[in-house]
């Protein structure tokens, strides 16, 4: 538990809430989370219903515009996404400037930000039409940028998007097709990818979403704001956690440490159990429940087995029957099982946070727009408790020891 206190700083009393664990920074009508009861709803719809019935693109529309699309609206969005899937040829040169082992998250954030200068008419958004165009550009192009960042790292030629393909199929085509042989994923793989994106599409005021809103509060443009969100997502405690999970499961698989040793070392605070714990969820993460089942189903449908899934299940069971974890209300979060799905789709570990960023894009865009429309919005500017030196006299260079 983190203490919230009212502390005196240099100019008066302020609320001191490290990590903003109990501080509301805005009001929002996009996503509802009840961490005690494991409830997550997008615009009022339970995540379980959306996961069972909706696609990622329908969910993106819901988050951004507030309602599920009609058939015509869904088709309109699909058409715009197909129209927008190519990158300006000038943007290709940006990829060439990166070293081949450059992290795809660095490439993603830089190139998404670089979309701004290629679309100067959308740097200031004043109408619903402009917003739809900007949102569709980002949601569509982010998948091309992500796939090209991967191809660049592999030293493979870029694969251009194919407008005949659906959003997820097109992404897998750009990732995995080779000259003269189009990659053809199974329906189960496409569905699993859509589900992965859908479950990551928004999660209210987490670090990356709050970053997007904070950058927006300076009246920064949409491209720059979501690019900042990508950077915030990168770290191991946020979007980098699922890569950490796979690394940990792989170490157990390779015999570097046993499940019990892993838990003992976590208890000694040598490292954290990746994919466990959540700032808000204190009984279970509903997304983890859905992904656990999805990982099973997908592996069963492809006839493949992943020994890491068995280790994950055993590790989760061992942790959830251990007082250390139950006392602290630590349960598997969305990242615990998502890496298994990504591995089965042939996505390498350094692309995991990129995949999260593609999924989270509709949420960031919806939050940016909500903040942009809020006439009472103010620049975000937290305070601090100053703990440095008292006033002192400047020491001339020759007198310094
Ligand atoms: N493994 C072991 N112990 C943990 C873990 C963990 N994964 N998470 C929290 N704890 C312990 C802390 O050591 C602390 O114990 P203490 O009271 O003995 O000091 C207690 O639980 C509370 O921890 P906090 O750091 O205060 O929890 P906070 O809410 O700040 O952190 C977070 C949440 C960052 C998600 C944390 O649980 C964590 O680091 N998890 C691992 C990384 C991870 O899976 N991140 C993905 C989050 S979901 C997402 O971004 C989509």
Ligand 1: residue of 38, 249, 266, 277 to mutate (most ligand atoms within 8 A of CB) is 277
CB neighbours of 373 closer than 8 A, spacing ≥ 6? none
Q: How confident is the model at residue 3 (pLDDT cuts 50, 70, 90)?
A: low
Residue 118 has pLDDT above 80, yes or no: yes
Residue 42 has pLDDT above 70, yes or no: yes
Asked whether 273 lines ligand 1 (CB < 6 A), one says yes
How far out from the chain centre does Cα 256 lie?
A: 30
At residue 174, the pLDDT reads: 97
Query: Which residues, in sequence order, are bridge partners of residue 126?
Result: none
Q: What is the SS3 assignment for 180?
A: coil
Compute the distance from residue 263 Cα to the ligand 1 centre, in Å: 14
DSSP string computed for 21-46 = TT------SSEEEETTTTEEEETTEE
Residue 66 has pLDDT above 60, yes or no: yes
Asked whether 285 lines ligand 1 (CB < 6 A), one says no
Q: What percent of the chain has pLDDT over 70?
A: 99
Count, residues in the chain: 401
Query: pLDDT per residue over 302-336, tens digit each?
Result: 777 889 989 999 999 999 999 999 999 999 999 99
Tell me the whole-structure pTM to 2 decimals. Answer: 0.92
Radius of gyration of the chain (CA): 22
Compute the distance from residue 191 Cα to the ligand 1 centre, in Å: 30
Residue 388 has pLDDT above 80, yes or no: yes
CA gap 362, 87 in Å, rounded: 19
ipTM topping 0.85: yes
Picking from 329, 173, 312, the residue whose alpha carbon sits closest to that of residue 252 is 312
Asked whether 282 lines ligand 1 (CB < 6 A), one says no
Query: pLDDT per residue over 211-259, tens digit each?
Result: 999 999 999 999 999 999 999 999 999 998 899 999 999 999 998 899 9
Compute the distance from residue 106 Cα to the ligand 1 centre, in Å: 25
Asked whether 277 lines ligand 1 (CB < 6 A), one says yes
Scanning the structure block, which residue is given the tokens 């805005």? 26
Residue 1 has pLDDT above 80, yes or no: no
Q: Please name the helix (run of DSSP H) or strand (run of DSSP E) that holds residue 97, with its range, or none.
A: none
Q: What percent of the chain has pLDDT over 90?
A: 82
Asked whether 40 lines ligand 1 (CB < 6 A), one says no
Q: What is the SS3 assignment for 309?
A: helix
Asked whether 359 lines ligand 1 (CB < 6 A), one says no
User: Which tokens hold the place of 297?
Assistant: 């189903």
Q: How confident is the model at residue 91 (pLDDT cuts 50, 70, 90)?
A: very high
Helices (H), 254-333: 259-267, 286-302, 307-320, 323-327
φ, ψ of residue 41 to 5 degrees: the values are -135, 135
CA gap 140, 387 in Å, rounded: 46
Compute the distance from residue 282 Cα to the ligand 1 centre, in Å: 11
Picking from 215, 197, 229, 214, the residue whose alpha carbon sits closest to that of residue 57 is 197
CB neighbours of 227 closer than 8 A, spacing ≥ 6? 109, 110, 112, 113
Query: pLDDT per residue over 261-303, tens digit each?
Result: 999 999 999 999 999 999 899 989 999 999 999 988 888 887 7
Compute the distance from residue 388 Cα to the ligand 1 centre, in Å: 29
CB neighbours of 184 closer than 8 A, spacing ≥ 6? none
Q: Is the Cβ–Cβ distance between 46 and 33 less than 8 Å? A: no
Asked whether 272 lines ligand 1 (CB < 6 A), one says yes
At residue 296, the pLDDT reads: 87
CA gap 48, 254 in Å, rounded: 35
Asked whether 263 lines ligand 1 (CB < 6 A), one says no
Compute the distance from residue 200 Cα to the ligand 1 centre, in Å: 19
CA gap 148, 156 in Å, rounded: 9
Of all protein residues, the one whose alpha carbon is nearest to atom 42 of ligand 1 is: 237
| CA within 13 Å, CB half, 27 | 5
Q: Please name the helix (run of DSSP H) or strand (run of DSSP E) that holds residue 201, with its range, or none.
A: none
Helices (H), 84-184: 89-96, 104-118, 128-154, 167-176
Q: How confident is the model at residue 20 (pLDDT cuts 50, 70, 90)?
A: very high
Of all protein residues, the one whose alpha carbon is nearest to atom 46 of ligand 1 is: 238
At residue 2, the pLDDT reads: 56
By annotation, the residues acting in catalysis are 278, 335
Asked whether 202 lines ligand 1 (CB < 6 A), one says no
Kindly report which listed range (95-104, 196-205, 346-355) carries the lowest average pLDDT score. Answer: 95-104
Residue 61 has pLDDT above 90, yes or no: yes
CA gap 15, 4 in Å, rounded: 7
Of all protein residues, the one whose alpha carbon is nearest to atom 18 of ligand 1 is: 328
Of all protein residues, the one whose alpha carbon is nearest to atom 50 of ligand 1 is: 238
Compute the distance from residue 244 Cα to the ligand 1 centre, in Å: 13
Of all protein residues, the one whose alpha carbon is nearest to atom 45 of ligand 1 is: 237
Scanning the structure block, which residue is given the tokens 């919806």? 366
């Amino acid at each position: 538990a983190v203490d919230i206190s009212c502390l005196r700083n240099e100019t008066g009393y302020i609320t001191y809430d490290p990590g903003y664990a109990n501080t509301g920074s805005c009001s929002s009508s996009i996503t509802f989370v009840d961490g005690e009861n494991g409830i997550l709803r997008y615009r009022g719809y339970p995540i379980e219903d959306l996961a069972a019935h909706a696609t990622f693109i329908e969910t993106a529309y819901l988050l951004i515009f507030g309602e599920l699309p009609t058939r015509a609206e869904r088709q309109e969005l699909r058409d715009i996404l197909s129209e927008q899937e190519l990158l300006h040829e000038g943007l290709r040169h940006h990829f060439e400037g990166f070293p081949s082992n450059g992290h795809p998250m660095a490439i993603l954030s830089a190139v998404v930000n670089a979309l701004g200068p290629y679309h100067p008419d959308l740097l200031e958004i004043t109408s619903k039409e402009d917003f739809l165009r900007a949102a569709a550009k980002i949601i569509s192009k982010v998948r091309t940028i992500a796939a090209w960042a991967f191809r660049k790292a592999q030293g493979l030629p870029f694969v251009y998007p194919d407008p005949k393909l659906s959003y997820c199929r097109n992404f897998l085509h750009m990732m995995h097709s080779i000259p003269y042989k189009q990659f053809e994923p199974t329906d189960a793989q496409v569905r699993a990818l859509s589900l992965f994106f859908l479950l990551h599409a928004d999660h209210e005021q987490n670090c990356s979403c709050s970053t997007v809103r904070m950058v927006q509060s300076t009246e920064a443009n949409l491209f720059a704001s979501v690019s900042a969100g990508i950077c915030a997502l990168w770290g191991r405690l946020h979007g980098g956690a699922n890569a950490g999970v796979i690394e940990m499961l792989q170490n157990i698989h390779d015999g570097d440490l046993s499940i019990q040793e892993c838990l003992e070392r976590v208890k000694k605070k040598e490292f954290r159990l990746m994919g466990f714990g959540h700032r808000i969820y204190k009984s279970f993460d509903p997304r983890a429940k859905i992904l656990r089942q999805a990982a099973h189903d997908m592996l069963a449908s492809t006839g493949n087995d992943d020994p890491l899934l068995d280790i994950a299940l055993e590790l989760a069971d061992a942790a959830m029957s251990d007082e250390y974890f139950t006392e602290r209300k630590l349960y598997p979060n969305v990242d615990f099982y998502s890496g298994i799905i990504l591995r089965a789709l042939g996505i390498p570990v350094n692309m995991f946070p990129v995949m999260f960023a593609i999924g989270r894009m509709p949420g960031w865009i919806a939050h940016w727009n909500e903040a942009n429309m809020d006439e009472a919005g103010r620049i975000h500017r937290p305070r601090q408790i100053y703990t440095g030196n008292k006033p002192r006299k400047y020491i001339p260079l020759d007198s310094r020891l």
